[in-house]
Amino acid sequence: MRSLSSLREQVATWDKLEQDVADAEMLLAMAVEAEDESVMAEVAAETEALTKRYEDLEFQLALSGRYDNSGAILSVHAGVGGTEAQDWAQMLMRMYLRWAERRDYDIEITNQLDGEEAGIKTVTIEVTGPWAYGYLKSERGVHRLVRISPFDSSARRHTSFALVEVVPILDEQIAIEINPSDLKIDVYRSAGAGGQNVQKNSTAIRLTHIPTGIVVTCQNERSQLQNRESALKVLRGKLFDIELQKREEEEARLKGKHVEAGWGNQIRSYVLQPYQMVKDLRTDVETGNTTAVLDGEIDLFIETWLKAQVGSDER
């Protein structure tokens, strides 16, 4: 019934827009016949408002996926390259945290593994709020950084890669079943500060899903039970993503389109030297304001990609 009510509301919104456009056309025809410039100006203003309503509704079509209104589990993994790649992964983590803060989303870092010298090896973040997954799904893929490395004493230019994964936070009613016998559960002490704050109890959890080999860790909660629930939530999302990819690959195979999943699918390039440019390789959208992008202003890339998906085979 909720789904039916939502669909009726969507149809009613489009019907109202269609009627308002028809009324404006009729009013314009009458104004032209009467040569009434004041009414023509009124219709011009109404046309701008109708255009804005249409554009807003058109963009909503890009967020009509089944799970687009769900929260998102976003993971960033440093690529090959040691400290340089780990620093890049941390820069991306900060970018997404700032983006989520701008939208007043709730953020929780459920797992983070720091690098030996700087940066992070991997991080998993839960982002909850309206359309979080719908927006962030556009960020899945490999992100490439080109810059003069601050870790290179010879000040040479380095290229680094990081992988971004995004899965929806699934409603408990969605049937992603996990057989307990398919899980290997390891318990260990969470890494933390020394001295009085050292973790004395084994509360960190590592789940290994034996059929797929997926490993999920969680150590940021205080209790073993909380960490286990957080890890299961991430695992359910990853299993869902695998099933989704299987369906997409099968559809692509039937259509004769080859889909190659992996690190070769670079989606965006961030160049800080010798010039400054961020370019999305899927949509060709680019900007020279790299500072703003790395500070979380990525809506231009997200929205352009989402609009490009409306009516495409990739949706």
What single letter denotes the amino acid at residue 176? I
Asked if the bond preceding 274 is cis, omega within 30° of 0, the reply is yes
User: What number is the average pLDDT over the span 130-137?
Assistant: 92
Q: Residue 236 has which token pair?
A: 């359910």
The whole-number pLDDT of residue 269 equals 94
pLDDT tens for residues 142-167? 999 999 888 776 777 888 899 998 98
pLDDT attached to residue 265 = 65
Tokens (6 digits) for 122: 């991997």
Residue 118 · residue 151 · CB < 8 Å: yes
Q: What is the distance between the alpha carbons of residues 219 and 203, in angstroms, rounded to a whole number?
A: 7
* Summary mean pLDDT of the chain: 84
Residue with tokens 């929780």: 108
Per-residue pLDDT reduced to its tens digit, 232-270: 888 888 888 887 777 667 545 544 443 333 356 689 999
243 sits in which H/E element: helix 224-255
277, 284 in Cβ contact below 8 A? no
Which comes out higher in pLDDT, residue 313 or 155?
155
From 143, 160, 49, 153, select the one nearest 96 (Cα to Cα).
Answer: 143
| 293 Rama class: left (phi>0) / alpha (psi -120 to 50) / beta | alpha
Q: How does residue 197 score in pLDDT terms, banded at 50, 70 and 90?
A: very low
pTM over 0.75: no
In this predicted structure, the answer to whether residue 200 has a pLDDT above a threshold of 70 is no
Is the pLDDT reported for residue 213 higher than 60?
A: yes
DSSP state of 261: -
- The predicted pLDDT at position 294 comes to 96
SS3 150: coil
pLDDT tens figures, 22-66: 999 998 888 888 888 888 888 899 999 999 888 878 777 888 887
Strand order in the sheet with 141-148: 106-114, 120-128, 72-78, 157-168, 141-148, 266-271, 277-280, 286-287
Q: Closest by alpha carbon to 220, among 130, 123, 301, 136? A: 123
